[in-house]
Protein backbone atom coordinates (compact mmCIF):
# COMPACT_ATOMS: atom_id res chain seq x y z
CA UNK A 1 0.00 0.00 0.00
CA UNK A 2 1.23 3.52 -0.80
CA UNK A 3 2.28 5.91 1.96
CA UNK A 4 -0.41 8.40 3.08
CA UNK A 5 -0.37 12.19 2.91
CA UNK A 6 0.46 12.61 6.61
CA UNK A 7 3.43 10.29 6.33
CA UNK A 8 4.72 12.25 3.31
CA UNK A 9 4.17 15.64 4.98
CA UNK A 10 6.17 14.37 7.99
CA UNK A 11 9.00 13.08 5.87
CA UNK A 12 9.13 16.40 3.95
CA UNK A 13 10.00 18.15 7.23
CA UNK A 14 13.13 15.98 7.49
CA UNK A 15 14.47 16.75 4.01
CA UNK A 16 17.08 19.51 3.93
CA UNK A 17 16.19 20.26 0.29
CA UNK A 18 12.45 20.87 0.97
CA UNK A 19 11.26 24.35 2.01
CA UNK A 20 7.73 24.83 3.34
CA UNK A 21 7.10 28.34 4.68
CA UNK A 22 3.75 28.55 6.48
CA UNK A 23 1.01 30.73 5.03
CA UNK A 24 1.14 33.32 7.81
CA UNK A 25 4.87 33.85 7.33
CA UNK A 26 4.27 34.29 3.58
CA UNK A 27 1.54 36.85 4.24
CA UNK A 28 3.93 38.56 6.67
CA UNK A 29 6.48 38.80 3.85
CA UNK A 30 8.74 35.77 4.39
CA UNK A 31 11.48 35.68 1.79
CA UNK A 32 13.23 32.44 2.85
CA UNK A 33 16.20 31.97 0.48
CA UNK A 34 15.43 34.95 -1.76
CA UNK A 35 18.65 36.00 -3.49
CA UNK A 36 20.56 33.23 -1.69
CA UNK A 37 19.45 29.95 -3.29
CA UNK A 38 22.84 29.55 -4.95
CA UNK A 39 25.01 29.98 -1.88
CA UNK A 40 22.66 28.78 0.90
CA UNK A 41 20.97 25.83 -0.81
CA UNK A 42 23.10 24.62 -3.71
CA UNK A 43 26.58 25.85 -2.74
CA UNK A 44 27.41 26.89 -6.30
CA UNK A 45 26.54 29.58 -8.85
CA UNK A 46 24.90 27.30 -11.43
CA UNK A 47 21.80 28.60 -13.25
CA UNK A 48 18.44 27.87 -11.60
CA UNK A 49 15.36 26.42 -13.35
CA UNK A 50 11.90 26.38 -11.72
CA UNK A 51 9.12 23.90 -12.44
CA UNK A 52 5.91 25.64 -11.34
CA UNK A 53 2.95 23.40 -10.44
CA UNK A 54 5.48 20.57 -10.39
CA UNK A 55 3.18 17.85 -8.94
CA UNK A 56 5.50 14.87 -8.32
CA UNK A 57 8.40 16.80 -9.84
CA UNK A 58 9.15 14.67 -12.89
CA UNK A 59 10.66 17.58 -14.83
CA UNK A 60 12.58 18.85 -11.81
CA UNK A 61 14.20 15.44 -11.22
CA UNK A 62 14.42 14.43 -14.90
CA UNK A 63 16.22 17.65 -15.87
CA UNK A 64 18.45 17.47 -12.77
CA UNK A 65 19.65 13.98 -13.76
CA UNK A 66 20.55 15.21 -17.24
CA UNK A 67 22.09 18.53 -16.13
CA UNK A 68 24.33 18.32 -13.07
CA UNK A 69 25.71 21.72 -14.11
CA UNK A 70 22.34 23.38 -13.38
CA UNK A 71 20.04 23.60 -10.33
CA UNK A 72 16.32 22.81 -10.26
CA UNK A 73 13.50 23.82 -7.90
CA UNK A 74 10.02 22.28 -8.05
CA UNK A 75 7.23 24.51 -6.73
CA UNK A 76 3.75 23.32 -5.79
CA UNK A 77 1.17 23.93 -3.07
CA UNK A 78 0.77 20.18 -2.45
CA UNK A 79 3.68 18.83 -0.45
CA UNK A 80 2.52 15.21 -0.55
CA UNK A 81 2.82 15.35 -4.35
CA UNK A 82 6.37 16.68 -4.54
CA UNK A 83 7.39 14.31 -1.73
CA UNK A 84 7.90 11.80 -4.58
CA UNK A 85 10.46 14.02 -6.31
CA UNK A 86 12.12 14.93 -3.01
CA UNK A 87 12.46 11.25 -2.07
CA UNK A 88 13.74 10.17 -5.48
CA UNK A 89 16.30 12.98 -5.65
CA UNK A 90 17.54 12.04 -2.15
CA UNK A 91 17.75 8.35 -3.01
CA UNK A 92 19.69 9.14 -6.19
CA UNK A 93 22.05 11.53 -4.37
CA UNK A 94 21.10 14.48 -6.61
CA UNK A 95 22.47 17.64 -5.00
CA UNK A 96 21.01 20.02 -7.61
CA UNK A 97 17.32 19.62 -6.62
CA UNK A 98 15.09 21.46 -4.14
CA UNK A 99 11.34 21.83 -3.59
CA UNK A 100 9.38 24.84 -2.37
CA UNK A 101 5.80 24.63 -1.10
CA UNK A 102 3.90 27.80 -1.87
CA UNK A 103 1.07 29.11 -3.97
CA UNK A 104 2.50 30.32 -7.27
CA UNK A 105 0.69 33.61 -6.65
CA UNK A 106 3.43 34.26 -4.05
CA UNK A 107 6.40 32.82 -5.95
CA UNK A 108 7.97 36.22 -6.61
CA UNK A 109 8.40 36.63 -2.82
CA UNK A 110 11.04 33.91 -2.86
CA UNK A 111 13.33 34.87 -5.77
CA UNK A 112 15.39 38.00 -6.36
CA UNK A 113 15.62 39.79 -9.73
CA UNK A 114 17.77 37.76 -12.14
CA UNK A 115 17.94 34.72 -9.83
CA UNK A 116 16.10 32.31 -12.16
CA UNK A 117 17.24 31.36 -15.67
CA UNK A 118 14.43 29.16 -16.87
CA UNK A 119 10.83 28.20 -16.03
CA UNK A 120 8.83 25.08 -16.94
CA UNK A 121 5.02 25.02 -16.62
CA UNK A 122 3.98 21.39 -16.91
CA UNK A 123 0.34 20.38 -17.38
CA UNK A 124 -0.98 23.36 -15.46
CA UNK A 125 -4.66 23.51 -14.55
CA UNK A 126 -6.46 25.16 -17.53
CA UNK A 127 -8.85 27.21 -15.32
CA UNK A 128 -11.49 27.48 -18.10
CA UNK A 129 -13.59 30.05 -16.19
CA UNK A 130 -10.64 32.36 -15.56
CA UNK A 131 -11.26 34.81 -18.40
CA UNK A 132 -8.85 37.41 -17.02
CA UNK A 133 -5.97 34.96 -16.51
CA UNK A 134 -5.62 35.77 -12.81
CA UNK A 135 -5.56 32.05 -11.88
CA UNK A 136 -4.07 30.38 -14.99
CA UNK A 137 -0.34 30.20 -14.25
CA UNK A 138 0.52 30.28 -17.96
CA UNK A 139 -1.21 33.65 -18.51
CA UNK A 140 0.67 36.81 -19.47
CA UNK A 141 -0.19 38.20 -16.00
CA UNK A 142 1.75 35.36 -14.38
CA UNK A 143 4.56 35.76 -16.92
CA UNK A 144 4.99 39.34 -15.66
CA UNK A 145 5.53 37.88 -12.16
CA UNK A 146 8.09 35.39 -13.46
CA UNK A 147 9.84 38.13 -15.40
CA UNK A 148 10.44 39.98 -12.10
CA UNK A 149 12.91 37.29 -11.00
CA UNK A 150 14.18 35.86 -14.31
CA UNK A 151 17.33 36.74 -16.20
CA UNK A 152 16.40 38.86 -19.25
CA UNK A 153 15.77 36.47 -22.15
CA UNK A 154 15.40 33.46 -19.83
CA UNK A 155 13.25 30.74 -21.41
CA UNK A 156 9.69 29.87 -20.33
CA UNK A 157 8.41 26.45 -21.49
CA UNK A 158 4.80 25.25 -21.42
CA UNK A 159 3.89 21.59 -21.92
CA UNK A 160 0.16 20.88 -21.82
CA UNK A 161 -2.60 18.55 -22.95
CA UNK A 162 -5.05 21.45 -22.97
CA UNK A 163 -5.95 23.10 -26.28
CA UNK A 164 -7.30 25.98 -24.16
CA UNK A 165 -4.00 26.55 -22.36
CA UNK A 166 -2.18 26.34 -25.69
CA UNK A 167 -4.48 28.75 -27.55
CA UNK A 168 -4.94 31.28 -24.73
CA UNK A 169 -1.22 31.36 -23.93
CA UNK A 170 -0.21 31.80 -27.56
CA UNK A 171 -2.72 34.57 -28.12
CA UNK A 172 -2.17 36.29 -24.76
CA UNK A 173 1.63 36.16 -24.99
CA UNK A 174 1.67 37.58 -28.52
CA UNK A 175 -0.67 40.43 -27.51
CA UNK A 176 1.51 41.21 -24.49
CA UNK A 177 4.67 41.27 -26.64
CA UNK A 178 6.17 37.93 -25.58
CA UNK A 179 7.73 36.29 -28.66
CA UNK A 180 6.61 32.76 -29.56
CA UNK A 181 10.01 31.09 -29.92
CA UNK A 182 8.62 27.60 -30.55
CA UNK A 183 5.19 26.05 -30.73
CA UNK A 184 3.72 22.69 -31.57
CA UNK A 185 0.27 21.19 -31.25
CA UNK A 186 1.69 17.68 -31.15
CA UNK A 187 4.97 17.13 -29.33
CA UNK A 188 5.37 13.44 -30.20
CA UNK A 189 4.17 13.48 -33.83
CA UNK A 190 5.87 16.77 -34.70
CA UNK A 191 8.21 18.57 -32.35
CA UNK A 192 10.48 15.74 -31.17
CA UNK A 193 11.35 15.06 -34.83
CA UNK A 194 12.59 18.57 -35.59
CA UNK A 195 14.56 19.57 -32.46
CA UNK A 196 18.10 18.54 -31.49
CA UNK A 197 18.43 15.11 -29.83
CA UNK A 198 19.22 16.60 -26.42
CA UNK A 199 16.00 18.64 -26.36
CA UNK A 200 14.02 15.71 -27.81
CA UNK A 201 15.16 13.72 -24.77
CA UNK A 202 13.93 16.51 -22.47
CA UNK A 203 10.57 16.61 -24.27
CA UNK A 204 10.31 12.87 -23.71
CA UNK A 205 10.24 13.26 -19.92
CA UNK A 206 6.68 12.18 -19.03
CA UNK A 207 4.90 13.59 -16.00
CA UNK A 208 2.24 11.78 -14.01
CA UNK A 209 -0.60 13.77 -15.59
CA UNK A 210 0.95 13.59 -19.03
CA UNK A 211 1.02 9.79 -18.86
CA UNK A 212 -2.68 9.79 -18.00
CA UNK A 213 -3.60 12.08 -20.90
CA UNK A 214 -1.47 10.09 -23.35
CA UNK A 215 -3.30 6.91 -22.34
CA UNK A 216 -6.56 8.72 -23.18
CA UNK A 217 -5.16 9.50 -26.62
CA UNK A 218 -4.77 13.25 -26.12
CA UNK A 219 -2.20 15.28 -28.00
CA UNK A 220 0.52 17.07 -26.06
CA UNK A 221 1.18 20.73 -26.87
CA UNK A 222 4.32 22.80 -26.34
CA UNK A 223 5.06 26.54 -26.33
CA UNK A 224 8.18 28.54 -25.56
CA UNK A 225 8.74 32.22 -24.95
CA UNK A 226 11.31 34.31 -23.12
CA UNK A 227 11.24 36.70 -20.17
Ligand X SMILES: C[S@@+](CC[C@H](N)C(=O)[O-])C[C@H]1O[C@@H](n2cnc3c(N)ncnc32)[C@H](O)[C@@H]1O
Minimum CB–partner distance for residue 85 and ligand X (Å) = 10
- Given the rule CB under 6 A, which of 38-46, 70-78, 88-96, 195-203 is the region that contacts ligand X? 70-78
Is 76 a binding residue for ligand X by CB under 6 A? The answer is yes
Catalytic residue of the set 22, 28, 76, 125: 125
CA dist 106 and 63 (Å) reads: 24
> Looking at the chain, how many residues does it have?
227
DSSP symbols for 83-146: HHHHHHHHHTT-SSEEEEES-GGGGGGG--TT-EEEEEEES----TT-TTSSS-TTSHHHHHHH
CA dist 209 and 216 (Å) reads: 11
Is 208 a binding residue for ligand X by CB under 6 A? The answer is yes
Give the three-state DSSP class for 50: strand
Query: Which of 104, 119, 158, 192 is the binder for ligand X (CB under 6 A)?
Result: 104
Is 205 a binding residue for ligand X by CB under 6 A? The answer is no
CA dist 144 and 147 (Å) reads: 5
DSSP conformational letter for 40: I
Is 136 a binding residue for ligand X by CB under 6 A? The answer is no
Of all residues in this chain, which one has the CB nearest to ligand X in the complex? 55
- Given the rule CB under 6 A, which of 10-18, 40-48, 85-93, 116-124 is the region that contacts ligand X? 116-124
Positions in 145-184 near ligand X (CB under 6 A): none
Query: Which of 123, 142, 146, 173 is the binder for ligand X (CB under 6 A)?
Result: 123
Active site residue 125: yes
Cα Rg of the chain (Å, integer): 17
Per CB under 6 A, residues contacting ligand X are 53-55, 76-78, 81, 103-105, 122-125, 207-210
Residues designated catalytic: 125
Amino acid sequence: MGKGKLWKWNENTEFSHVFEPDLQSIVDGATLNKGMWSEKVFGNQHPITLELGCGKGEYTVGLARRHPERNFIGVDIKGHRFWRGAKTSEQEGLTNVAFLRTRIEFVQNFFAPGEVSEVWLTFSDPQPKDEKGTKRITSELFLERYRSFMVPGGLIHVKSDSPLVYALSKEGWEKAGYPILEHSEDVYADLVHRVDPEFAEVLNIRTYYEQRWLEEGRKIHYLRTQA
